[in-house]
């Protein structure tokens, strides 16, 4: 049977699942969480990303290549790719554009909003993955995501607990102070400041 290595929530993986289902090709799906998926993808013969489709002949590590491979296994009259070379080139050009621009943009937008509801995000993200991966992601999610958000937003939130002493708003020029105050008032900025306050030691002295 075909084996499809995926991240459950990934829309690129959904594209591959859909194409295989549409072609009536049975497959076993092997689901993994982010980061672990890199190891799984490489072990399956792909690169650093999912999906990876393992066939009797080879491993296919691109969602678009999987769609084309699956489509080639359908009767000619039922194929979704046009037979005409010029028309097929145009379809493939559009698919590449969607893969390169729509896919990453949609992923970033959803993650930004879903990060506000972590239990729902993890419930959705971890469907069908091994139990140890689900547990590891839930433990590491808070530490890694919160630390990254807080640290990388520090240039515009200026937390007092930063590793070196950052100038605080009262010492800034008016336009800079206004920028920092807006960032601090934003829900993400306020959350980042709470993470610093709760988990970061006071700055070290030279």
pLDDT at residue 109, as a whole number: 80
Domain 2-109 class in CATH: alpha beta
pLDDT at residue 179, as a whole number: 95
45: left (phi over 0), alpha (psi -120 to 50) or beta: left
| Phi, psi dihedral angles at 199 (to 5 degrees) | -125, -5
| Secondary element (H or E) of residue 30 | strand 27-31
pLDDT at residue 205, as a whole number: 57
Query: Cα 96 from chain centroid?
Result: 18
pLDDT at residue 138, as a whole number: 82
Split the chain (206 residues) into runs of 10 and give each run's mean pLDDT. Answer: 96 96 97 93 96 98 97 95 95 94 86 79 93 86 75 93 91 95 92 89 61
Question: In 42-116, at which residue ranges do the beta strands (DSSP E only) sit?
Answer: 52-54, 59-60
pLDDT at residue 203, as a whole number: 59
pLDDT at residue 35, as a whole number: 86
pLDDT at residue 116, as a whole number: 74
pLDDT at residue 108, as a whole number: 80
Q: Distance between CA atoms of 137 and 156, rounded to whole angstroms?
A: 28
Instruction: Count other Cβ atoms within 10 Å, centred on residue 177.
Output: 16
Q: Taking the model in full, what pTM does it have?
A: 0.71
pLDDT at residue 40, as a whole number: 96
Radius of gyration of the chain (CA): 23
**Alpha carbon of 33 to those of 3, 122, 179: distances in Å?**
17, 10, 37
**Residue-range domain boundaries for the chain:** 2-109, 134-199
């Amino acid at each position: 049977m075909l084996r499809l290595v995926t991240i459950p929530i990934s829309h690129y993986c959904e594209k591959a699942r859909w194409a295989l289902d549409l072609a009536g090709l049975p497959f076993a799906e092997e689901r993994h969480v982010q980061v672990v998926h890199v190891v799984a993808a490489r072990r399956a013969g792909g690169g650093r990303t999912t999906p990876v489709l393992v066939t009797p002949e080879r491993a296919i590590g691109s969602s678009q290549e999987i769609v084309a491979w699956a489509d080639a296994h359908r009767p000619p009259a039922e194929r979704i790719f046009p037979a005409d070379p010029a028309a097929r080139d145009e379809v493939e050009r559009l698919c590449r554009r969607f893969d390169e621009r729509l896919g990453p943009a949609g992923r970033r937008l959803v993650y930004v909003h879903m990060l506000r509801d972590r239990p729902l995000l993890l419930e959705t993200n971890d469907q069908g993955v091994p139990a140890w991966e689900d547990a590891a992601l839930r433990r590491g999610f808070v530490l890694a995501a919160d630390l990254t958000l807080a640290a990388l937003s520090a240039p515009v939130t200026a937390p007092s607990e930063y590793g070196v002493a950052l100038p605080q708003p009262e010492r800034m020029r008016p336009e800079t102070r206004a920028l920092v105050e807006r960032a601090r008032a934003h829900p993400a900025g306020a959350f980042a400041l709470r993470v610093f306050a709760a988990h970061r030691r006071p700055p070290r002295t030279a």
